[in-house]
């Protein structure tokens, strides 16, 4: 159901330093002169290449072009400023796809793993819980563990890619949600946790666990309010929260079967609606993760 598209070509980028060292810069100059009418004189490509090789962690193309473009473009009159901006944008658009560095994927894989584990645990629970009372008890524990795993790992792309340039907050939020998830799983193992009178408490615990994601989301918006990707991902995350919240509410209130007993015993009862909304929420968060990957791959910190 879920897949990880290739946002950038990981293998080709591994050899980028060697490619730059062996590049035929004179040929590149001729090619750029052909395709860039706004570039009458080529910048010093050797300096550009050497700068990339010395500082691969700071590949800001526009800044590099500011330093290597001819001095005659740096005058203060309006025409030259416009020409300079046009030149920088043209060259940046050509070179940008070649200079991106892919970031780590493990937070995104962790989320995909948590989502698949949750759905697999739920399927196994519904398949085998009718076997015996003992096996039903074990399968329900597994089901709760899967829900906690899904909620916890859903935080990983959000926190890591939002705060990858702020290690303190990244580790703080990741540590908090991981410990909270472990605590929720351990609490769900208690026999008393399974009794019907604790149904609302179980739902509230998982609901509160998901609601804690509001803190890093608000923090992200404060830090990156000017980034369209931050707003884009927040929209997905709000939609995901709506799906999860409505699903938890339907599960706790047992609607619609409480309104018409016996009418939804086979299809349409609260537990089925809950699972449909969980899948919808996970799929929404998957799309948010793709935006995070594209954003950080292209812009880094």
Question: Which residues fall within 8 angstroms of residue 301, CB to CB, at 6 or more apart?
Answer: 164, 165
Counted residue by residue, the chain has a size of 301
CA distances to 39, 76, 117, 187, 294 from 91, in Å: 9, 21, 45, 57, 21
60 is in an annotated binding site: no
Query: Diameter of the chain by CA atoms?
Result: 84
Burial class (CB in 10 A: 0-12, 13-18, 19+), 173: buried
Backbone torsions φ then ψ of 186, nearest 5 degrees = -65, -40
271 is in an annotated binding site: yes
Distance CA(271)–CA(219), nearest Å, equals 34
CA distances to 196, 204, 233, 243 from 199, in Å: 5, 9, 32, 20
Binding-site sequence positions for Zn(2+): 126, 271, 275
Binding-site sequence positions: 126, 271, 275
């Amino acid at each position: 159901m879920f897949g990880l598209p290739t946002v950038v070509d990981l293998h080709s980028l591994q050899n980028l330093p060697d490619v730059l060292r062996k590049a035929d810069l004179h040929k590149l100059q001729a090619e750029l002169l052909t395709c860039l009418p706004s570039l009458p004189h080529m910048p010093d490509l050797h300096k550009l290449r050497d700068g990339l090789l010395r500082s691969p962690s700071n590949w800001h193309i526009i800044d590099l072009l500011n330093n290597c473009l001819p001095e005659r473009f740096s005058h203060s009159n309006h025409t030259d400023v416009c020409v300079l901006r046009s030149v920088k944008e043209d060259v940046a658009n050509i070179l940008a796809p070649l200079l991106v560095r892919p970031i780590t994927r493990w937070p995104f894989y962790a989320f995909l793993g948590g989502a698949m584990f949750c759905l697999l645990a739920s399927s196994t629970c519904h398949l085998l819980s009718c076997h015996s009372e003992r096996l039903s008890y074990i399968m329900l524990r597994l089901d709760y563990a899967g829900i906690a795993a899904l909620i916890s790992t859903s935080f990983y792309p959000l926190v890591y890619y939002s705060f990858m340039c702020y290690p303190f907050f990244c580790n703080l939020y990741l540590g908090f949600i991981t410990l909270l998830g472990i605590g929720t799983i351990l609490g769900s193992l208690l026999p008393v946790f399974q009794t019907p009178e604790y149904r609302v408490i179980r739902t509230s615990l998982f609901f509160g666990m998901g609601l804690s994601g509001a803190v890093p989301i608000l923090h992200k918006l404060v830090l990156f309010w000017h980034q369209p990707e931050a707003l884009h991902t927040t929209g997905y995350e709000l939609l995901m929260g709506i799906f999860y919240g409505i699903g938890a509410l339907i599960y706790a209130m047992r609607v619609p079967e409480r309104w018409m007993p016996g009418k939804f015993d086979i299809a349409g009862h609260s537990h089925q609606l809950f699972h449909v909304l969980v899948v919808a929420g996970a799929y929404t968060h998957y799309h948010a993760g793709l935006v995070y990957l594209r954003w950080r791959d292209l812009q880094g910190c």
